[in-house]
Amino acid sequence: MKWNKFRLKTTTEAEDIVSSMLYDLGVEGVQIEDKVPLTKEEKDQMFVDILPDIPEDDGSAYLTFYLEEGEKTKELLLNVGKELEEMRAYVNVGECTIEESQTEDVDWMNNWKKYFHQFYIDDILVIPSWEKVKAEDEGKLIIHIDPGTAFGTGMHETTQLCIRALKNYVKAGDRVLDVGCGSGILGMLALKFGAEYSVGTDLDPCAITAACENMEENGITEDCYEVILGNIIDDKAVQDKIGYGKYDIVAANILAEVLVPLTPVIVNQMKPGGIYITSGIIDDKEETVVEAVKAAGFEVLEV
């Protein structure tokens, strides 16, 4: 199926009311592009070390929407034009020019799969559910991970750093906690390395779903891996559920800004002599994290 793509130029002042008007006329979704600076709250929610470079706000905004081909499209556009003209009496709607183009319908749910294939992390084979294990790989350490809405396919360098550290430090019978578990890859690999029990926490409900789905793909049951939704840093209920003085190893592949407040809290969940593995740290934040772990009573074993 072909879709008509429409890109309407308006102003940041009017983008919300124009979007609302489009919804009222039957447009099911609108993409908004503008150059409005991010608020402090928005920056805090992005959880990135390097913020995007946004050009200076010039007051313009673009609203993009898609419609099927047909007579109703012409009628809808006529109504859009009428509504915009009426709005001019009380809000600056700007040029209101509309660029039109066509785009083919794409099977986004499956087409992205051609970009993700099985790969090795040292001697560990990471393989998606739609690929088969080759005969020569039978018997190797294999983990099934499907890319999705949660971080942690194993391709990112920070994930691989954590995996290698877990492989080095996990002992048979260990209990492992993964803070910010994403796809669940670290907790599941810890079990494959010999751990007895893993717990994963995350703030994102999508991560909990993804972790559970990946557990099923790997034949891992809830009696050896539990995933918990919530913020361990400031939620006492989550801390209580995870437990205190229980974990031989804690892994946290997040960001320095999260690791700093997490570290003095997480020490309470760990056994004396436990191992704390942190990653997701850009180089100029290294000292910040080192200071935080030392202040919490940890000894740095390796970097």
DSSP string, 169-190: H--TT-EEEEES-TTSHHHHHH
Q: Are 76 and 6 in contact (CB under 8 A)?
A: no
Judge contact between 273 and 169, C-beta under 8 A.
no
Q: Could you report the per-residue pLDDT of 112-166, keeping only the tens digit for each?
A: 778 889 999 999 999 998 899 999 998 899 999 988 777 888 999 999 999 999 9
pLDDT in tens, 89-110: 999 999 999 999 988 766 766 7
Contact present, 124 and 141 (Cβ < 8 Å): yes
Say which residue, 67 or 231, is predicted with more confidence: 231
pLDDT of residue 198: 98
Cα–Cα distance between 110 and 146 in angstroms, integer? 12
CA dist., res. 180 & res. 182, Å (int): 6
Q: What percent of the chain stands above pLDDT 70? A: 94
Per-residue model confidence (pLDDT) at position 46: 63
What is the CB-side half-sphere exposure of residue 266 using CA atoms within 13 A? Answer: 28
Rg, the chain, Cα only: 25
Burial class (CB in 10 A: 0-12, 13-18, 19+), 29: exposed
- The pLDDT value given to residue 112: 72
Maximal CA-CA distance, the chain:
73
Q: What does the pLDDT read at residue 11? A: 96
d(C-alpha 185, C-alpha 277), whole Å: 15
Q: What CA–CA distance (Å, rounded) separates 62 from 58?
A: 12
Contact 195, 173 (CB under 8 A): yes
Strands (E), the chain: 2-11, 31-34, 60-68, 98-104, 119-121, 124-127, 141-144, 175-179, 197-202, 225-229, 247-253, 270-279
Q: Parallel, antiparallel, or unpaired: how do β-strands 119-121 and 197-202 relate?
A: unpaired
Average pLDDT taken over every residue of the chain: 91
Mean pLDDT for 179-191 is 96
- By DSSP bridging, strand 270-279 and strand 124-127 are unpaired
pLDDT tops 90 at residue 226: yes
User: What's the pLDDT band for 71 if we cut at 50, 70, 90?
Assistant: low
> Looking at residue 108, what is its pLDDT?
64
Quick one: pLDDT at residue 212? 94
Report the C-alpha gap between 162 and 249 in whole angstroms: 11
Residue 25: helix, strand or coil by DSSP?
coil
Per-residue pLDDT at 47: 61
Distance CA 134, CA 99 (A): 50
Cβ neighbors of 248 (< 8 A, separation 6 or more) are 171, 174, 175, 176, 195, 270, 271, 274, 275
